[in-house]
Structure 1
């Protein structure tokens, strides 16, 4: 297949490399000049399960793709949520009537942006358990195994995704069809909607927050708001299962000493966060469904205040 990886950071580099190795025609599109320059000059480098590999994959800055002659069969989205609309505008000349668009972004409601550019029948929502990191511009660190759950939003459902699933599985990306991807997305969003914002505001790793006397009460209040919105969107969310998963993040012996991605974006790298597409999305949908979401609203406001205080860009 002819594949565009839109957002070629850590996860985009993983998917681009694995699809390239499976003999697909892949191009990378990103907005980080140094990352782009290094890949153009030296190829995409990766420590891939302990093996050093280099792949020569074409990469373009998103501002220059309007002139690129490439008609995609599949677009895989890995941008930051707030960059999604701009990316879709930039690549629209490479998206045809039959191009499938697979969204693997964190957060909720991205289909509302994507459907401005492609029909609902071409949109595939996914949730991935793959992980990846960047050791520097042009150099990825890829360890472990993972999987992808995905669902087409059109009436044809699974039939419309068979070719995409086959392509992903040929690249050993372990894709499978889900009858209710929103449940997986909301479950993951509950983890992000608690650990990300709270650890960022409290300047804490997950274990430090989890060991406070009030952690469970705060988490349960936030999850209850996510669950109320999920119910309105016919997403089956098992609250006890979600709470168990969140509380497992407190474990110092596993991932408890980790600082979530929002903390890394804002506190370490002074970047704007994706709070509007996690807790902020619950606030917007709460207004739509006439559901009160005070905890998500307050946490969203606190994170924005922190962004402004720190002068995040």
Structure 2
């Protein structure tokens, strides 16, 4: 893969649009793929409006429904919602050729099992990202601060492919590195999302506001203790104190403090269903199947689903 490449973003919401914007600025041929018609139409008619650390600009970048993209890409980045992953993979078959790398940077647990049903193992690269972005409205994103990416090829023989993707991302300023244990990285990211995403959504607050609550550390610890117990089933060790320290740092306004997590954006701001079943719900379901008590994650999952019943349109 050359540094300049054909790249398709599968799921062009807040994060997908930010990555598409940064990768196109670096000279790549980028296309945004999304099923939100108003979002796609706005981008094509007016451009993508980007509030980049206080500076607003409009960039021209093509956007299409996933099924409409037939050209094989060098790289496909999966940013769709986990509950929509199977449909997305069906829709984008035409973009994946014999040399296409498929990078999953989605939130949630269990994504690789789904991707392997549609994509050859040697093509799959999985990662976690600490970049943030917010969807202001159709065709309009806003973000501040920086971030990073850790990624790894799931086929041990394909490290060269992953290294080329790292180079491609870094040429766009996306601060990517090769991970040696991406499974643990994914669980750690899920721990962060399983506390901040779900609790900020239920409490209708941003990360800084959550961190200022006197109850925050104990609530987070109870949730994380259950994550750690279930993670052991997959031979993953979670240091709860380490995650709590990370959460505290993220609450700083120089980091992600002013950011409303993606679940809050989906449910509270845009009245869309969430990925709760692939975060707290995943822990609750796997815990129940293996005799591990998960009362906090079970309750959080139930509360988010109840909130969905209240807010989500077309119930």
Question: What TM-score range do you get, normalising by the shorter chain?
Answer: 0.7 to 0.9
Is 1:35 the counterpart of 2:33? The answer is: no
Q: Structure 2 vs 1, CA of residues 160 and 248 (structure 1 numbering), >3 Å: closer, same or farther?
A: closer
**Cα deviation 1:55-74 (Å, max 9, x = unaligned):** 33221123x42xx3300121
**Cα deviation 1:234-273 (Å, max 9, x = unaligned):** 3342221112223456679976676543233223322211
Listed as ranges, the gaps of 5+ residues in structure 2 are none
Is 1:47 the counterpart of 2:51? The answer is: yes
Aligned residue in 2 for 1:242 = 243
Maintained 8 Å contact 1:227/1:237: yes
Q: Tell me the TM-score normalised to structure 1 length.
A: 0.87
> How far apart in 1 are the matches of 2:296 and 2:313?
23
Match of 2:18 among 10, 14, 17: 14
> How far apart in 1 are the matches of 2:203 and 2:142?
29
Q: Tell me the TM-score normalised to structure 2 length.
A: 0.86
> How far apart in 1 are the matches of 2:257 and 2:62?
38
Alignment of 1:195-234 (within 5 A): 195-204=196-205, 214-234=215-235
**Cα deviation 1:181-237 (Å, max 9, x = unaligned):** 222222222122123323433445556655666543332221111112222323342
Range that drifts further, 188-197 or 273-282:
188-197
Report the secondary structure of 1:201's partner residue: helix
1:40, CA displacement in angstroms?
A: 1.2
> How far apart in 2 are the matches of 1:5 and 1:254?
25
Report the secondary structure of 2:108's partner residue: coil
Aligned residues: 310
> How far apart in 2 are the matches of 1:301 and 1:257?
27
Is 1:177 the counterpart of 2:181? The answer is: no
Alignment of 1:1-313 (within 5 A): 1-62=5-66, 64-65=67-68, 68-204=69-205, 214-248=215-249, 259-287=260-288, 289-313=290-314
Q: Structure 2 vs 1, CA of residues 120 and 253 (structure 1 numbering), >3 Å: closer, same or farther?
A: closer
1:91, CA displacement in angstroms?
A: 0.6
